[in-house]
């Protein structure tokens, strides 16, 4: 996810509010647990909280603060591993109408093309789409074993340059591929992912393999269960070939094994935190991967690596078995070559799970049941930014397809104070790591890295966390009003504050490549700098968002381009 700035923390801390829950952590800077809390300690804490009390008020608070600090010490003795969820559950529909629920996801109507032609070259097979591979596998023009061995070979070869693999799951993959081929030979077809290899961001647990979260303190961690999304892909017949890198604890592209690289320009990092999934898909090592996003971790690496990333509506994909960073913002989604591929993967992984109280089952059809020309498509335009010309060209593509665009604006609200919720939740999720001192083992130790953010988040008052949540409700209501007049919105990927806004409100997005610029002063003239455009949609309107993105890709070839490192 993008770096959380010091400015955002200071803005949050400066919000005015009172609450004794603030002081035990603030006082820790000036008083040890065994010390008596003095009026001077309270004065120091007031400075950090942006508050001011009289000595009489401080004296009255002292005994309450002593009791609160003792309660904190007792709470810290309760084992709270990362998978334990809070008793509060985020609901993105609180700003408007309820989610349209169904009993369980239904199969999609999509069918692979009949009588496909097998690519002549191995490289063409490596860069084939999920849709094309489904047709080849179903017709038996290729086998799952062939594809699996090809992916493993490429992952091994290119990892020396790209550093995008944490663990190859070769034994599991070959077992799955043999089973898939046996079923396909017998005429049993589970759907579009049957026999298709894939990669998992290494915050998803897979029984029998390490789940490292990209962080040195967890490099030997094994979680003896398959994450829900892994289990669902197993049921769809997909073949897991590798656990792919993520920036340590889901920030950036630096992990304990180095920096994951961008195959379009290996002098550059892959961005993050879904660094490995984006790099592996872009380089033709896997047809698709599962990434995660809290605040840009699918959008940013999809842009950097020139792949298509789908961040689903909050709650549409179960997060059970995935590392928690923020209970109210984490989302899992597919990273693929095209929006159609994203739709095929999403069709297999979405739906409610009893293991994730935030998950919901809502209808999803593919192909979309509504033609894109029937959709109300809004567009956010900004005056000047680097990718403006490419974005306008992509808008022209959908206009030529018969889509009528209408101007819209997103809510103009300061999301900085609301993002204190993310910082507080992340600090709680890794509280034991900080208190044990093992947070110092993370590679990054700068002012914008997790260790600093975790420590600083201890000074976020509980009152301000709650008020941030209340302000977030107003933001959700404002977004609900925007989507009363449109179905989807096309927006610059990093413009109009949409990244923070939509991650806070839980709205879905698809980010797709639309530019590949030469890299100035590059050692290799073939290196490129990809860019992207993003389509966002109303809650649970993932199908429509994917359909508009597919219309854009039907009229362009950006998603079919291949990087120089392949």
Give the Cα separation of 421 and 427 in Å (integer).
Answer: 10
Of the candidates 37, 21, 19, which has an alpha carbon nearest to the alpha carbon of residue 29?
A: 37
Of the candidates 410, 442, 414, which has an alpha carbon nearest to the alpha carbon of residue 426?
A: 442
Give the Cα separation of 232 and 236 in Å (integer).
Answer: 6
What's the burial of 383, exposed, middle or buried (CB within 10 Å: 0-12/13-18/19+)?
exposed
Per-residue tokens: 555: 């009229």
Of the candidates 294, 283, 488, which has an alpha carbon nearest to the alpha carbon of residue 405?
A: 488
Give the Cα separation of 305 and 293 in Å (integer).
Answer: 16
Give the Cα separation of 561 and 68 in Å (integer).
Answer: 59
Give the Cα separation of 200 and 226 in Å (integer).
Answer: 11
Per-residue tokens: 199: 């990669």
126 alpha carbon, distance to own chain's centre? 25
Q: Which of 297, 302, 339, 529 is catalytic?
A: 297
3-state class of 179 per DSSP?
A: helix
124 alpha carbon, distance to own chain's centre? 29
Is 273 designated active site?
yes
- Strands 165-168 and 331-336, by their bridges, are unpaired
With both helix axes pointing from N to C terminus, report the angle between 39-49 and 55-75 in degrees, rounded to the nearest 10: 80
Alpha helices by DSSP H, 283-367: 299-305, 339-349
Per-residue tokens: 553: 């890709």
- Cis bond before residue 51 (omega within 30° of 0): no
Per-residue tokens: 16: 């005015």
Q: Which of 138, 201, 243, 331 is catalytic?
A: 201
Q: Which of 273, 279, 326, 529 is catalytic?
A: 273
500 alpha carbon, distance to own chain's centre? 13
**What's the number of CA atoms in the CB half-sphere (13 Å) around residue 222?**
5
- Spatial neighbors of 279 by CB under 8 A, at least 6 apart, are 162, 164, 244, 245, 260, 261, 262, 263, 270, 301, 305
Of the candidates 420, 219, 205, which has an alpha carbon nearest to the alpha carbon of residue 292?
A: 205
Indicate the helix (H) or strand (E) that contains 176. helix 170-185
Give the Cα separation of 311 and 294 in Å (integer).
Answer: 10
Catalytic residues: 201, 273, 297
């Amino acid at each position: 996810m993008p770096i959380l700035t010091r400015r955002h923390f200071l803005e949050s801390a400066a919000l005015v509010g009172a609450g004794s829950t603030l002081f035990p952590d603030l006082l820790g800077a000036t008083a040890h647990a065994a010390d008596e809390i003095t009026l001077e300690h309270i004065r120091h804490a007031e400075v950090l909280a942006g508050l001011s009390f009289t000595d009489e008020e401080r004296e009255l608070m002292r005994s309450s603060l002593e009791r609160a600090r003792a309660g904190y010490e007792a709470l810290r003795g309760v084992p709270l591993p990362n998978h334990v969820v809070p008793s509060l559950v985020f609901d993105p529909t609180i700003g408007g109408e309820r989610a349209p629920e169904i009993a369980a996801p239904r199969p999609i109507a999509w069918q692979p093309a009949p009588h496909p032609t097998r690519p002549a070259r191995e490289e063409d097979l490596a860069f084939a789409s999920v849709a094309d591979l489904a047709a080849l596998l179903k017709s038996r023009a290729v086998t799952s074993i062939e594809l699996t061995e090809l992916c493993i070979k490429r992952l091994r070869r290119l990892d020396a340059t790209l550093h995008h693999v944490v663990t190859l799951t070769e034994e599991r993959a070959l077992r799955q591929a043999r089973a898939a081929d046996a079923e396909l030979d017998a005429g049993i077809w589970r759907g579009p992912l049957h026999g298709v290899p894939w990669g998992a961001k290494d915050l998803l647990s897979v029984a029998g393999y390490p789940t490292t979260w990209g962080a040195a303190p967890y490099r030997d961690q094994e979680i003896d269960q398959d994450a829900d999304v892994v289990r669902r892909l197993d049921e769809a017949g997909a073949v897991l070939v590798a656990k792919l890198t993520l920036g340590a604890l889901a920030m950036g592209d630096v992990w304990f094994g180095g920096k994951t690289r961008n195959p379009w320009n290996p002098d550059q990092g892959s961005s993050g935190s879904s660094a490995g999934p984006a790099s592996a898909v872009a380089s033709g090592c896997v047809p698709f991967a599962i990434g995660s996003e809290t605040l840009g971790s699918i959008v940013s690496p999809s842009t950097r690596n020139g792949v298509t990333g789908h961040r689903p509506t909050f709650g549409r994909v179960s997060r059970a078995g995935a590392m928690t960073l923020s209970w109210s913002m984490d989302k899992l989604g597919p990273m693929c070559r095209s929006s159609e591929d994203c739709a095929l993967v999403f069709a297999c992984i979405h739906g409610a799970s009893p293991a994730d109280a935030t998950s919901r089952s809502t209808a999803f059809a593919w192909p979309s049941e509504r033609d894109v020309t029937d959709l109300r498509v809004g567009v956010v335009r900004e005056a000047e930014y680097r990718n403006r010309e490419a974005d306008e060209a992509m808008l022209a593509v959908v206009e030529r397809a018969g889509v009528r665009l209408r101007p819209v604006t997103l809510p103009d609200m300061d999301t900085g104070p609301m993002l204190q919720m993310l910082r507080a939740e992340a600090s709680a999720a890794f509280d034991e790591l900080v208190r044990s001192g093992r947070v110092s083992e993370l590679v990054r130790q700068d002012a914008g890295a997790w260790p600093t953010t975790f420590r600083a988040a201890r000074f976020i008052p509980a009152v301000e966390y709650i008020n941030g949540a209340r302000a977030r409700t107003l933001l959700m209501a404002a977004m609900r009003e925007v989507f009363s007049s449109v179905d989807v919105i096309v927006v610059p990927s990093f413009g109009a504050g949409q990244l923070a806004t939509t991650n806070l409100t839980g709205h879905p997005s698809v980010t797709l490549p639309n530019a590949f610029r030469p890299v100035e002063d590059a050692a290799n003239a073939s290196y490129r700098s990809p860019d992207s455009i993003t389509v966002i949609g109303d809650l649970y309107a993932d199908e429509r968002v994917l359909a508009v993105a597919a219309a854009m890709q039907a009229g362009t070839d950006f998603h079919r381009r291949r990087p120089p490192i392949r």
